[in-house]
Amino acid sequence: MDTGRYDQVADLNAITMRQLNEDVTAYKYDLEFCNEQLTNPHISLTPQESRTLQLRRLDMGHNIRHCNHRMEMIRLTAASAGGGRPVLISDAAAAAAASARNVSSLTPAAARQQRIAAIKRSSSEALDKSALVTPTKPSKKARGSSSAVTVSAAGTASAVLVAAAPKAEEDEEGDGEHPQQLELKRLGYWRCRLCVSTKYLLAGAGRQPSAPCKWPLKDIAKMITHYMDMHTEHEPAERCKELGDALDTNRGPFEYWLRRSRSQNLEDNSIIDECIEELQTGQLPDVLRRLSRAAASFPQELLQIAVMEDGAMHRLSEDEQRAQESSRFLRLPAEIRVQIYRFAVVRAGEYAWSFAPPALAHVSRQVREEALSIYYSENSFILGAQHGPRDTVDLEESMDSFLPPPGCRLARWIRNVRTVSMEYTQPYSAAAQPYKFPLLLKFDLVGGTSLANGSRRGVRDISAKRVGTDDTQWDIPGAEEAFYDMLAKDEYTFDTMMQNRLPLRSIAVLLSAVASACPLAARYVCLSWFYRGKDRDFVVSF
């Protein structure tokens, strides 16, 4: 910028005014650049860059307003001082000041009169009303941005916030007869509350999304997909209510999505109100099901249901729903509720002998899901089944004593099954070696916990004698292969007859049943068996 004419200005206020005008011009250029970056559809910005430009644009508006306020104060001070130095911001005023400075032979009174006359000649430029900060009508070019800067004839700038208005058809003369409308912005802003809810945090592996959203939801199509395809740990009605609140907060972007993205001819906004109201009641509107792929695959009927112990479902009554919503316990922070659940259902140093849920799981549906996720994942279970010709119950039926009951959808969280014992007997035969039967098999199924250090309940050197690997698929062929491989490593202890007499089929069925019901518990599988002979006992660990 040209600063060579500062020597023509004899007043400190005039220098300050000139500098403020130059600052406003620079801020204007910066503001126009930010607006161009944010409104140009051909420029792709990351969320962080977009946020930075928006903050920068707000900062420019504050700086322009601050400069305008300073210029107003300088003018007011100069006008009220009377005999003080005038504000000189034009070339004519600067020349008048220079001529007044050169006339040094005049008396103070004459010099004062000469300065006043010079100011009057330049008053049309220096003290023109147009130099004051007044909102001006933005040009059509600047209407697409959220703010615009106009510069008056005297060089001062004023920041005018332009409401984002759609390209409403205005008269060419700009008579302002048509009411101003708000522009339909494509992007909104919504922080997903389900991503920080207790149900989501306790869902564990396999939840969608796998991690809470780091960025807010902005695009309406992605917002709908987020709640229709994800957060399956919540009931469909809860997801619809959350989507309804999000669209209610972002009505402008929702209207843009309907009009522009889906080319819907909306006569008024009543359909938007009806859609949001229906979502907030827990139902999915037909218009969303028709216009969104994710909504089209959403469940047709949304029911408030409760899962019973036998797997049956029934609709919750209004009293039950109000009781769950008004519970003071459920209003506590998730961290405090988790600590309460641990005190109530985790058995320190003890083992559970059944998968039956505790009494706390019958309080309400939400308490059931939260409490059982901790009960099954942090307790250890000792379970057993028997099989043999003398038994009156088949192996498959006896496994009902330790497998999860029907309708127990939270069994996937079971991590620690301490021991599964299976007694295998055969009728005594003189031809058979007496030390080989009866046979008692024990399995340690410990998911997520290594037993390499020390021994437990007679199972020795488990780290080297583990059955299978982390990748073993515990179906029948995989289980049989794992046991054969382990027996081959101890060929000096067992002969071929012992390998042939082992109930591999029954063992595989047992492991398959446990692995299908409790996949997290069958990661580490360790085998030991005990058999009693005529003269001695043998305990072998794998």
Name the domain boundary from 296, 325, 358: 296
Residue-level pLDDT at 440: 54
Residue-level pLDDT at 309: 37
My answer on whether 121 and 215 are in the same domain is: no
Residue 464 lies in a domain: yes
My answer on whether 129 and 246 are in the same domain is: no
My answer on whether 115 and 262 are in the same domain is: no
The CA angle 510-513-519, to the nearest 5 degrees, is: 120
Long-range contacts of 291-300 (CB under 8 A, 24+ apart): 291/258, 291/262, 291/264, 292/221, 292/224, 292/225, 292/228, 293/225, 294/224, 294/225, 294/228, 294/229, 295/224, 295/228, 297/228, 297/229, 298/228, 298/236, 299/236
Q: Where are the alpha helices (DSSP H) in 103-152?
A: 108-121, 123-126
**Of 494, 389, 386, which Cα lies nearest the Cα of 436?**
494
The CA angle 134-89-16, to the nearest 5 degrees, is: 90
| Residues 36-80 pLDDT 10s | 888 888 888 888 888 888 888 889 889 999 999 999 888 888 887
Whose tokens are 């695959």? That residue is: 297
Residues of the chain with pLDDT under 50: 1, 3, 6, 9, 84, 86-89, 93, 96, 100-101, 103-105, 123-180, 301-315, 386-393, 406-407, 427-438, 448-464, 491-495, 497, 532-542
Residue-level pLDDT at 64: 93
My answer on whether 529 and 388 are in the same domain is: yes
Cis peptide bond upstream of 438, omega within 30: yes
Partners of 531 in beta bridges: 439, 538
Quick check: helix, strand or coil at residue 124? helix
Q: How far apart are CA 260 and CA 263, in angstroms?
A: 5
Residue 54, both tokens: 């928006």
Residue 232 lies in a domain: yes
My answer on whether 101 and 242 are in the same domain is: no
Q: Are 64 and 158 in contact (CB under 8 A)?
A: yes
pTM of this prediction?
0.33
Name the domain boundary from 271, 296, 321: 296
Residue 321 lies in a domain: no
Residue 324 lies in a domain: no
End-to-end CA distance of the chain: 86
My answer on whether 153 and 215 are in the same domain is: no
Name the domain boundary from 146, 161, 176: 161
What are the residues whose beta carbons fall under 8 Å from the beta carbon of 275, sequence distance 6 or more? Answer: 247, 285, 287, 288
**Of 405, 336, 408, which Cα lies nearest the Cα of 369?**
408
Q: Which residue type is seen at 491?
A: E
36, 51, 54, 147, 184 from 48: Cα distances, Å: 17, 5, 10, 20, 22
Whose tokens are 């505790």? That residue is: 358
| Residues 177-222 pLDDT 10s | 444 455 678 899 999 999 988 888 887 777 888 888 888 999 999 9
Residue 357 lies in a domain: no
Q: Are 215 and 47 in contact (CB under 8 A)?
A: yes
My answer on whether 139 and 24 are in the same domain is: yes
Residue-level pLDDT at 103: 44
Counted domains in the chain: 3
Residue-level pLDDT at 389: 44
**DSSP conformation letters of 292-341:** -HHHHTS-SS---EEE-TTS-EEEPPHHHHHHHHT-SGGGS-HHHHHHHH
Domain span including residue 290: 187-296
Q: How far apart are CA 197 and CA 330, in angstroms?
A: 11
My answer on whether 391 and 493 are in the same domain is: yes
Q: Are 28 and 119 in contact (CB under 8 A)?
A: no
My answer on whether 65 and 202 are in the same domain is: no
My answer on whether 127 and 213 are in the same domain is: no
Q: How far apart are CA 400 and CA 460, in angstroms?
A: 29
Residue 508 lies in a domain: yes
My answer on whether 128 and 193 are in the same domain is: no
What is the phi-psi region of residue 136: left when phi exceeds 0, alpha when psi lies from -120 to 50, beta otherwise? beta
Q: How far apart are CA 455 and CA 42, in angstroms?
A: 66
Residue-level pLDDT at 346: 85
Residue 208 lies in a domain: yes
My answer on whether 253 and 203 are in the same domain is: yes
Residue 459 lies in a domain: yes
